Structure 1
Amino acid sequence: MTEPSATFLLFGATGDLARRMIFPSLYNLLSDGLLPDDFLIIGSARSDMTDDAFRAEIDAALRQFLPADRYDADIATRFAAMIRYQAVEAGNAGQFATLADRIDGRLERGLSVYLSTPPSLFAPTAQGLSDAGLITPTTRIAMEKPIGKDLVSSRQVNDGIGHLFVEEQIFRVDHYLGKETVQNLLALRFGNVMFEPLWNATAIDHVQITVGETVGLEGRVSYYDGVGALRDMVQNHMLQILSIIAMEPPARMDPTAVRDEKVKALRSLRAMTAETVKSHSVRGQYTPGAVQGQIVTGYADELGQSSDTETFVALKAFVDNWRWQGVPFYLRTGKRMPTRQSEIVIQFKPVRHSIFGRDGQHGAGGTGLEPNTLVIRLQPEEYIRLQIMTKRPGLERQVHLEEVTLDVSLTAAFAGQRRRIAYERLILDLLAGDQTLFVRRDEVEAQWAWIDSIIDGWKEAHMKPAAYSSGNWGPSAAIALIERDGASWHD
């Protein structure tokens, strides 16, 4: 499976993800000369529509979601010529047969199928493809999250697809893995000699991972309620980031080696119990407040009824292996936060012995010695900052230290290069058959096993979400979660 696919088949082609991300990404790949001239894109959904009507919708989406300087009428015309539309509903054998007719003669050159549909349609859609003769050794299938809602249902989803495809043909999408800064974690750790020797419990005090959103439900009422922040964000995006931070060095940069080490880290997560969830987790739900100067309503108001679904979660996790023994990983994510930001903080331990004053503390005779901190911002800006100690200029006999920042702005460092949509990387890798940045089945199941332990603990302990005003970083208990250990969130 080394030849790039010549045909891209998208189910859910009229959805929001397709309009905002997938078609603009395909357009950008064409614009950069990364798609062959005879590439075929077939969009599919339940609605009846002509090719021309669908092309017009896609062109409108490109004009809306591409930066103004990226839209080019000539390229858009070439792009439209590659696009076809075929109405297909799961279970309709006749429509799948018509779809197969439109792909006739191209199968041997590879077909990449992208499922941007509810998970309940994954297996029926795959079965329809099989019955229509569209699954061959050169067919690949990509699935958007969620892959189930717990370990049992994730296995059902995976079994449904795994019955028709071998694992090497299955590409489970987590768009965070397409982000440049997330991929840079691999480069930072394994491409620089200074970090890896310190990347362990000897030198690191704790790790923080924060994913904050300013939005509320934003039209996702039917999906989000009953799912919540733990399943929606922690189970996939945040645990994927954690696995890259915590993994052992892979033998080589290939899909098997990288994902082998990630799954080992995920399996090392210490399961929670009804007792530990009380001290190691916080659930929250936003109430009315102000976000960035705008008055907003509470979750229950948006939903139209009361609910026990959490919109915020903070966790204290441990990776029980030699490298990370005793090092807490603090995770927090929520909606209606003060700012939209995703970042990783690696907090190093203080120097073992300070020669610059007693304990290196502020105050009489003190010097202000602070432990080093590495901050990796994923969004909205992209940067890597290392906070180090340096001598303050002056002629004083006693050395006074101040914290300064070594700042690498990826946006500035690569100012001549366009910052790409995460889906561009993922679609290109799907077409090429490279699974490195996709999630393997055993990773998904290891993630769900840990998440299930938290959910079960919450149920047994009868933990309900605590209220927090919109525009704050969650309930006050989230602050206490980390400050009990003598640390604080990096806000």
Structure 2
Amino acid sequence: MIKTLVLLGATGDLAGRFLLPALAALRAADRLPDDFQIVAAAREDLDDEAFQRTAAERLERHAPEVPAAARADLIRSVRYRRTELTDPASVGSLLSGVRQPVAVYLALPPGLYTTVVTALGSTGLPAGSRIALEKPFGEDLDSAMALNRLLDRVTHSAGEQAVFRVDHVLGLPTVQNLLAMRLANRILEPVWNSRHIEQIDILWEEDLGLEGRAGYFDRSGTLRDVMQNHMLQILSLIAMELPTRLDEQALRDRKLDALRSVRPLRLDEAASRTRRARYTAGRLSDPAGGTGRAVPAYQDEDGVDAARGTETFAEIVLDLDSKRWPGTRFLLRAGKALHRRRKQVTVRFRPAEHPSAHSAPANELRIGLDGPEDLVLHLAGGVPLNAPSWAPVTLTAAPPAADLPAYGRVLLDVLSGGSTLSVRGDEAEAAWRVMTPVLAAWNAGMVPLEEYAAGSAGPP
């Protein structure tokens, strides 16, 4: 296992809210080496003690469930280095003299990837090192291909093994369970095809607004932020053919096949198969039942350039050209500042064939992904011989609590040399082949930018 993590962008939101808490959870679970070290790097002028105080405060806020002893132990392993991340010489000096393998985690805006990766290549990383970077991997197909070429040059013969493209949803147990359900349950796989399934909805709906992320989000939008990565990764696990063996390469090969089977939309299809919108002023929902927080219109949020026309809501209907899925629609919908948080997969089965004159409601399987995480199956029951009517029957199950947060699983994979939770370069390109034509249609004004009130169900 790699024993040194170099965390670039250590004072940022990603590091404070997710990475440090995940590392503390790994320490509490005794999943890190005793001599594990973190080299935290950012542009702020801090010393070890000042950064450790800040890190301790963040852990107390974002990981209160982790035992205090584990949090303190992790903090003691951190050393801080002030680094100008846009200066190749400064990045190079951070790693000068390093002889053992390191994992370099780019908790940075994607716009800095090219500069930082180039600097890492000039410095030369020790054999066995890994570079981890967060989605999105490029902003369209051309930039994704350019990033892959750069990573290939920097990692030389190590190739994909030296690169970890992070999409943290792959670390969610509920997402990993999408494939496990098909593998382990005889009742599902025989009906997991277009003969029995009419439509599959993949939803990533959030009840929060920008939450301080305008600088990043306004340059990406919902399609680049979650649809091109999170949601297409989920689609690949749902739609893939089952691998003949359970190893990293076989799994990723089948995911790639599924992504390549998605039929890219033609420009003339965009108006009927896609929607985009942004929220206007409104009031967000309050889970506790209160009045909720008022938010301004997206275009009036601090840090937003209204002229960009960035979407906060996106919906796309896709078809797959595969033997398994002809005639099944895949609907992807994601948005911010909606009336409820809903991240789930809904599988809508075709109506059953039966002799009754009264049609029964179609079965529906709902798989919660990220709170709530229930598994819900809607069936039809009743006594059709005596009274030709049907009564709904709902079966609900809750999965066991996860032993590690999603980022804990991802970081463990990064440090241990695994790649199951990494997005391969050709997967990233295949996903962009699906979404780049949509962006082209939107940029050409072929799909209007609709509006919806914050706290509502979305555009009418």
Task: Give the direction of change, closer, same or farther, for the CA distance of 1:452–1:304 in structure 2 (3 Å limit).
Answer: closer
1:123 Cα offset (Å): 3.4
Which SS does the other structure have where 1:258 is aligned? helix
Answer yes or no: is 1:80 the counterpart of 2:79. no
Asked if structure 2 preserves the Cα contact closer than 8 Å seen for 1:201 and 1:323, the reply is: yes
1:25 to 19, 22, 32: 22
For 1:398, the equivalent position in structure 2 comes to 387
1:319 Cα offset (Å): 0.8
For 2:397, the equivalent position in structure 1 comes to 408
How does 1:453-472 map onto structure 2 within 5 Å?
Answer: 453-460=437-444, 462-472=446-456
Which SS does the other structure have where 2:84 is aligned? coil
Asked if structure 2 preserves the Cα contact closer than 8 Å seen for 1:274 and 1:458, the reply is: no
Quote the Cα distance in structure 1 between the aligned partners of 2:45 and 2:92.
14
1:370 to 349, 354, 361: 361
Task: Give the direction of change, closer, same or farther, for the CA distance of 1:397–1:76 in structure 2 (3 Å limit).
Answer: closer
Q: Which runs of 5 or more structure 2 residues have no equivalent in the other structure?
A: 286-290
| Letter of the structure 2 residue corresponding to residue 334 of structure 1 | G
Asked if structure 2 preserves the Cα contact closer than 8 Å seen for 1:285 and 1:467, the reply is: yes
Asked if structure 2 preserves the Cα contact closer than 8 Å seen for 1:274 and 1:461, the reply is: no
| Letter of the structure 1 residue corresponding to residue 433 of structure 2 | A
| Letter of the structure 2 residue corresponding to residue 218 of structure 1 | E
1:307 Cα offset (Å): 4.6
Q: CA RMSD in A?
A: 1.9
Quote the Cα distance in structure 1 between the aligned partners of 2:47 and 2:167.
32
How does 1:64-463 map onto structure 2 within 5 Å?
Answer: 64-67=61-64, 69-72=65-68, 74-90=69-85, 91-93=87-89, 96-101=92-97, 103-104=98-99, 107=100, 110-133=101-124, 135-165=125-155, 166-292=159-285, 293-294=291-292, 295-302=294-301, 303=304, 305=306, 307-352=308-353, 354-355=354-355, 357-358=356-357, 360-361=358-359, 369-391=360-382, 397-398=386-387, 400-410=389-399, 414=400, 417-418=401-402, 420-460=404-444, 462-463=446-447
1:99 Cα offset (Å): 3.6
| Letter of the structure 2 residue corresponding to residue 141 of structure 1 | I
Which SS does the other structure have where 2:154 is aligned? coil
Q: Which runs of 5 or more structure 1 residues have no equivalent in the other structure?
A: 362-368, 477-491
Which SS does the other structure have where 1:389 is aligned? strand
Quote the Cα distance in structure 2 between the aligned partners of 1:420 and 1:473.
32
1:426 Cα offset (Å): 0.2
| Letter of the structure 2 residue corresponding to residue 185 of structure 1 | L
1:473 Cα offset (Å): 2.5
Task: Give the direction of change, closer, same or farther, for the CA distance of 1:95–1:327 in structure 2 (3 Å limit).
Answer: closer
Asked if structure 2 preserves the Cα contact closer than 8 Å seen for 1:235 and 1:448, the reply is: yes
Question: Bigger radius of gyration, 1 or 2?
Answer: 1
Task: Give the direction of change, closer, same or farther, for the CA distance of 1:327–1:92 in structure 2 (3 Å limit).
Answer: closer
For 2:288, the equivalent position in structure 1 comes to none
Which SS does the other structure have where 2:5 is aligned? strand
With the length of structure 1 as denominator, give the TM-score of the two structures: 0.87
Which SS does the other structure have where 1:379 is aligned? coil
Render the CA deviation track for 1:316-357: whole Å, top value 9, x for unaligned. Answer: 1101111111111111111111111101000011112x23x2
With the length of structure 2 as denominator, give the TM-score of the two structures: 0.93
Render the CA deviation track for 1:429-475: whole Å, top value 9, x for unaligned. Answer: 11111111110011111111111111222344532211112222222
